[in-house]
Amino acid sequence: MENLIEKVALFIHESPKVVVFTGAGVSTESGIPDFRSPDGIWARYDPEDFTIQRFVSDREARKRNWRLRKEMFSADYRPNPAHYAIAELERIGKLSCVITQNIDGLHHVAGNSEEKIVELHGTVKNAKCLSCDDRLPLGEVLKRIDQGEEDPHCEKCGGLLKAATVSFGEAMPPAEMRRAEQCSRECDLFIVVGSSLVVYPAAGMPLVAKRSGARLVIINYTSTDMDAIADAVIHNKAGAVMEAILEKVKERAI
Ligand code: NAD
């Protein structure tokens, strides 16, 4: 593994434009479960319940959806060494952007600046009305649920409230998709951290980067279908690996 860490640090050293692409696996060491690990969310919830069509048509599915939101995001989660290493990449001037599938906001908390973060699947910081698109802090909606509302609706227009995240079957945010594609096309190095790379269209970004001539690095606990086309693959925990890589990058810069 030492050699691989050295290799990725060298890639970063040689690359003016680095894109980091994160998935749920970058946040498991912060205590937030991912979807597809054996102890992940899909071991306890049915993914079919989390389509936008089900959310809109089925009150019971909405209640389960809110229960999952509370379960996943009520604690005060903190960034872990992987998030801090990605923030450090920005500080040393290497990061062109961090494209994240995550909705937990931990890249912001770790210190990446707003303009460097592309949240492809939205954020749990806010809730949105599916009718008038009004936005409000998710905490306000969770408080209403705590006070007994099971299926909260918009106080302005009566529409359905939902976390401001992209559910299965829901359209991707166009501006974020454009930015993610542009960053992926223009980078020299694309580093995947903690993603199974099965959720499209987000998982298409490493392919865009690779086809445009960038090197591809995958840091993920388990193997992915894209390992075969990567220039380096590290099957280990993101926190220790990213921290070690950044240490090497900084040694080289001295
Ligand atoms: P996923 O659950 O499909 O895959 C996570 C991957 O991370 C797995 O392959 C697993 O082996 C790996 N992993 C787990 N812990 C790791 C660690 N400590 N170090 C390295 N790798 C680790 O997640 P995905 O690819 O992001 O795609 C699914 C969807 O999950 C995304 O759309 C995202 O919105 C959503 N999601 C987000 C959060 C979050 O915001 N924290 C949590 C759960 C799910």
* Tens-digit pLDDT profile for residues 86-114: 999 999 999 999 999 999 999 999 999 99
pLDDT of residue 241: 98
Q: Does residue 163 surpass a pLDDT of 60?
A: yes
Residue 61: name the closest of 48, 73, 72, 71 by CA.
48
Please give the span between the terminal C-alpha atoms of the chain, in angstroms, as a whole number: 23
CB 194 within 8 A of CB 25: yes
pLDDT of residue 35: 85
Q: How far is the CA of 39 from the centre of ligand 1 (A)?
A: 12
Mean pLDDT, residues 193-203: 95
What CA dihedral angle connects 15, 241, 204 and 28, to 10 degrees?
-140
User: Ligand 1 pocket check: which of 35, 45, 227, 233 to mutate, most ligand atoms within 8 Å of Cβ?
Assistant: 35
Ligand 1 contact, 101 CB (< 6 A): yes
Mean pLDDT, residues 148-165: 94
Alpha-helical regions (H) of 51-105: 52-57, 59-73, 81-91
Q: Does residue 79 surpass a pLDDT of 70?
A: yes
CB 18 within 8 A of CB 189: yes
pLDDT of residue 69: 84
Of the chain, the percentage scoring pLDDT greater than 90 comes to: 81
pLDDT of residue 109: 96
How do residues 41-69 score in pLDDT, each as one tens digit?
A: 888 888 888 899 999 999 999 998 898 88
Q: Look up 121 and say whether it is catalytic.
A: yes
Ligand 1 contact, 25 CB (< 6 A): yes
Q: How far is the CA of 31 from the centre of ligand 1 (A)?
A: 12
pLDDT of residue 50: 85
How many whole angstroms separate alpha carbon 98 and alpha carbon 90?
9
User: Ligand 1 pocket check: which of 34, 117, 233, 243 to mutate, most ligand atoms within 8 Å of Cβ?
Assistant: 34
How many whole angstroms separate alpha carbon 53 and alpha carbon 253?
51
Q: How far is the CA of 254 from the centre of ligand 1 (A)?
A: 34
Residue 25: name the closest of 77, 95, 102, 90 by CA.
102
**Which atom of ligand 1 has the smallest separation from the CA of 124?**
40
Q: Does residue 252 surpass a pLDDT of 90?
A: no
pLDDT of residue 115: 96
- Model pTM above 0.95: no
pLDDT band at 140 (very low <50, low <70, confident <90, very high): very high
Instruction: For each of the domains in the chain, give its residue range(s) and CATH number, in order of start.
Output: 1-31+78-121+172-254 (3.40.50.1220), 33-74+122-165 (3.30.1600.10)
Q: Does residue 152 surpass a pLDDT of 90?
A: yes
Residue 111, Cα to own-chain centre: how many angstroms? 15
Higher-confidence position of 83 and 72: 83
pLDDT band at 197 (very low <50, low <70, confident <90, very high): very high
pLDDT of residue 178: 97
Tell me which H or E stretch contains 10: helix 2-14
Ligand 1 contact, 22 CB (< 6 A): no
Ligand 1 contact, 35 CB (< 6 A): yes
Mean pLDDT, residues 138-147: 92
Q: How far is the CA of 107 from the centre of ligand 1 (A)?
A: 14
CA distances from residue 200 to 120, 157, 177, 196, 215 in whole angstroms, order as listed: 11, 33, 12, 11, 21
Q: How far is the CA of 208 from the centre of ligand 1 (A)?
A: 20
Higher-confidence position of 109 and 38: 109
Q: Which two tokens stand for residue 36?
A: 């597809």
**Catalytic residue, candidates 83, 121, 153, 235:** 121
Q: Which residues pair with 99 in a beta bridge?
A: 21, 118
Q: Does residue 254 surpass a pLDDT of 60?
A: no
Q: What value does the mean pLDDT of the chain take?
A: 93
How many whole angstroms separate alpha carbon 2 and alpha carbon 8?
10
